[in-house]
Amino acid sequence: MVPTEAVPPQHIGPRLISLSQDNIDEAMELSTEAAWNQTADDWQLFLSHGAVFGIVEDGVLSASAAIMPYGIEVAWISMVLTRKSRRGCGFGTRLLRHCLSEIDAQNRTAVLDATPAGEVIYRKLGFEGYDTFTRWAGTGGGKLCCAAVAPDLAPAILTANQAFGADRTELLSNFARRRSDLCRYEPDTTLCAFGRDGRLATQIGPIASASSLSDGSEIAALVTDLIDSIAGPVFMDVADHCTQLVARLETLGFEKQRPFLRMKRGPWLPPENGSTIAAIAGPEFG
């Protein structure tokens, strides 16, 4: 018998695909490698309410990008991730362009929160900035609370939706189910708050009001109460105009991490009645 040489396995890829529940473990590998805060529940939310795309090579997920629809006008872009070993291959840009094509076909405005490095890329794709936020990191007080009172969810969601300028009921309801103790609504001030568990830290936000945030002391008091009730690390992405809240966080030992620029591409306009957002839900959700 004539000896034969082993045939090397055929290289397959890269292919752009739509991700499913079967890809959550690999998606978690991407966000964990990047030291991001997402949990499997967050990826599940993207997959169940939005759309997640990926680049697959030889059966391995190398990159991702997600779209989350808000109402009928807005589509949030996030989770643009590439494995460290595959960076520089253009996968992120390819996925971004695919997301924008999908969003344009739905006549939606694309919105995202950009880091300084990402801002350069997004401006080249037609995005423009309109608001600024900063991540603050600290530690919760870990104080035991009495039995949680069921939050007044409907007005809290309505207030948060009006402040953002689009319907995010699915997102906020998900947060409230996961951490009902962090969902608050104060009828006297119309302040609302939400939060969720993260892989690295509990994320507080969004926090918003039905009217202009003129009394920073009320926001600071609400946030202090929330932080006191949390055990372990805490993240907050705070609107830069909320100077009293920033001052309170500094007194609580929180430290500034990195800035975000909110950017949009399309005709949708955010609310014009003055900023009513004190903290966002994180750059992955807006």
Q: How far is CA 260 from the centre of its chain?
A: 11
* The domain defined by 15-107 carries CATH number 3.90.1010.10: no
- The model's pLDDT over 104-156, given as tens digits with 9 standing for 90+, comes to 999 999 999 999 999 999 999 999 999 999 999 999 998 866 545 567 899 99
- The model's pLDDT over 4-18, given as tens digits with 9 standing for 90+, comes to 444 344 556 799 999
74-82/109-114 β-pairing? parallel
First to last CA, the chain: 66
- Reported pTM: 0.91
Taking the C-alpha atoms of residue 75 and residue 77, their distance in angstroms, rounded to an integer, is 7
- The model's pLDDT over 238-285, given as tens digits with 9 standing for 90+, comes to 999 999 999 999 999 999 999 999 999 999 999 976 679 999 999 999
Q: What is the dotted CATH code of the domain comprising 133-280?
A: 3.40.630
Domain ranges (residues) in the chain: 15-107, 133-280
- Spell out the residues 6+ positions from residue 84 whose beta carbon is closer than 8 angstroms to its own: 33
Contact 219, 204 (CB under 8 A): no
The tokens of 44 are what? 């599940």
Taking the C-alpha atoms of residue 227 and residue 249, their distance in angstroms, rounded to an integer, is 10
Q: How confident is the model at residue 80 (pLDDT cuts 50, 70, 90)?
A: very high
pLDDT of residue 211: 83
pLDDT of residue 5: 47
Decide if 15-107 and 133-280 have a common fold.
yes
Taking the C-alpha atoms of residue 275 and residue 130, their distance in angstroms, rounded to an integer, is 11
pLDDT of residue 272: 77
The tokens of 117 are what? 């490095």
Taking the C-alpha atoms of residue 132 and residue 25, their distance in angstroms, rounded to an integer, is 32
Please state, for a pLDDT cut of 90, what percent of the chain lies above it. Answer: 86
pLDDT of residue 6: 47
- What is the residue-averaged pLDDT of the chain? 92
Taking the C-alpha atoms of residue 54 and residue 66, their distance in angstroms, rounded to an integer, is 9
Which amino acid is it at 149? V
- The model's pLDDT over 147-183, given as tens digits with 9 standing for 90+, comes to 455 678 999 999 999 999 999 999 999 999 999 999 9
The tokens of 114 are what? 């950009």
pLDDT of residue 144: 64
